[in-house]
Amino acid sequence: MKSTPTFTIFAGRHFYTILLAALTSAGWMVAGGWPWLLGKIGISDYGTPYLDSYAILAALDAFRAGADVHAANALDPLFRGHVYSDWWLGLRWLGLTRADNFIVGTSWIAAFGLTAWLTVRPKRLFETFWMFLILCSPAVLLALKRANNDLVIFVLMAGCALVASSSACWRWLLAIICLGLATGLKYFPAPAALAFLWTRPIGRMPAAFLAALLAVAAAMAAVWTQIDRARFVVGSGVYTMGAPLLLRDLGWQDNVSAIPGVGLILVIGLILALTRTTTGLLTEGEPSERMRSAVGCIILLACFSAGTNYAYRWIFVVWPAAWMARQSADLSLPLFQRWVARFACVLIAVCLWSDGIFCFYVNIRPAVTERNLWHMQYVLRLWIQPLTWLLMFLFAGWLIDAGLSTVREWWRARAASRPNVALPFSDGRT
């Protein structure tokens, strides 16, 4: 009897992952080979491929030349100064220059693709096409076209899930290093330390959570004086995301809208959690899958609440989107729970695709005046931003429900570990 070739067995087990990789690679190559297609959906490289990785390499060249890398940089096409932490300047030790931009940008995209495919691992055909819709969405293509360094942060945050269900010391160490390095490089991953609450078994959770907090604290202390340079106002327009977009149009100033916005998200999230509208993020699916989903939800909530960001931040929705797709089709779950997941999937699709579809519509129309274009963008925000808020409410609900469940689980485990103490009788006997 002939044995089945190893490659055939591997392809059979990972067929949908291979199919997803093939589809997304084809989509990305089409977008890269015909840049006019990206132009139609409002994505431009301003004449410089991999614009954002180029900015970092230009900062390295300026540093070597003795220039102030934080001021306007004449070596950058847009004269951008270095707004990230100085940790990125450590790349100069690898001898990288602007001449290496194609290699650097392509390697970041490849690392992102491999990480997404291997962590998502679709199990059905509809999951494969759903993730293809996510990974080839305009918001993700924006990150790829610019080779934004969020792609690097995505890879690092995937490493945090190594601690989800293993007691191996090397996994714990690598997960903590990934979190600390990501925080030092880009700041916004700091709240993702909360995802270490997903560590199981529950007895190991406090140690993992404390280690994550210490790693974040150490990284933030190292770059604390550099954080202000990353705070700049992003105007309202296409390919942006954040709570201020809607609040500005409602007459709120950015400096007074943050706290009410966060409060509203927390209150609605708590209501969704207490009414059992958003459940399952702590129990449904593999531990590493749930932890990565939590990481994505936490990062997106933090970025959304903190201010306005460019739309490439949506790359972190890859993990929650994969988890929600599986929840929406899991017949073992209550019907209501599946429909909530389906509704969230619809909201994700709207958030990722709406700006690209809008730009395509504008670009195929006859010439539009600047005034009319501004009005059309305003109307678009009034329609889309409430849906984005709804998605953030759901994210908060899932996270709060999981957080409350974790506290209850830990308390029960702690109570069960206590030795039984015999109570005395009324006459003094025990």
pLDDT at site 423: 47
Give the span between the Cα atoms of 146 and 55, in whole angstroms.
Answer: 10
Q: In 3-state terms, what secondary structure has residue 429?
A: coil
The answer to whether 402 touches 200, Cβ cutoff 8 Å, is: no
Please write the tens of the pLDDT for every residue from 197-207: 999 888 889 99
Task: Return the sign of the alpha-carbon dihedral for residues 145, 150, 154, 159.
Answer: positive
- Give the number of domains in the chain: 1
Residue 2 within a domain: no
Residue 31 within a domain: no
Distance in angstroms between the alpha carbons of the first and the last residue of the chain: 71
Give the span between the Cα atoms of 387 and 175, in whole angstroms.
Answer: 33
pTM of the entire structure? 0.93
Please write the tens of the pLDDT for every residue from 96-139: 999 999 999 999 999 999 999 999 999 999 999 999 999 999 99
Segment 297-324 shows an average pLDDT of 95
Q: In 3-state terms, what secondary structure has residue 137?
A: coil
Q: At residue 81, does pLDDT exceed 80?
A: yes
> How many alpha carbons fall within 13 Å on the CB side of residue 10?
4
Please write the tens of the pLDDT for every residue from 6-50: 545 455 568 999 999 999 999 999 998 888 899 999 998 888 889
Residue 21 within a domain: no
Q: At residue 365, does pLDDT exceed 90?
A: no
Give the span between the Cα atoms of 70 and 323, in whole angstroms.
Answer: 40
The pLDDT confidence band at residue 266, using thresholds 50, 70 and 90, is: very high
For residue 408, what are its two tokens?
A: 């209850």
Give the span between the Cα atoms of 311 and 308, in whole angstroms.
Answer: 9
Segment 289-311 shows an average pLDDT of 95
Query: At a CB cut-off of 8 Å and minimum separation 6, what does 256 contact?
Result: none
pLDDT above 70 coverage of the chain, percent: 94
pLDDT at site 391: 98
The more confidently predicted of residues 419 and 346 is 346
Give the span between the Cα atoms of 229 and 214, in whole angstroms.
Answer: 24
Residue 166 within a domain: yes
Residue 187 within a domain: yes
Residue 93 within a domain: yes
Q: At residue 355, does pLDDT exceed 70?
A: yes
Instruction: Using only the alpha carbons of the chain, give its radius of gyration.
Output: 23
Choose the weakest-confidence range: 63-67, 159-163, 346-350, 362-366.
362-366
Q: How far is CA 51 from CA 28, 45, 357, in A?
A: 17, 6, 23
Residue 371 within a domain: yes
pLDDT at site 234: 81
Segment 342-363 shows an average pLDDT of 96
The more confidently predicted of residues 45 and 424 is 45
pLDDT at site 11: 57
Choose the weakest-confidence range: 148-162, 229-243, 306-320.
229-243
Query: At a CB cut-off of 8 Å and minimum separation 6, what does 14 contact?
Result: 121
The answer to whether 380 touches 60, Cβ cutoff 8 Å, is: no
Residue 292 within a domain: yes
Domain of residue 90, residue span: 45-227+236-410
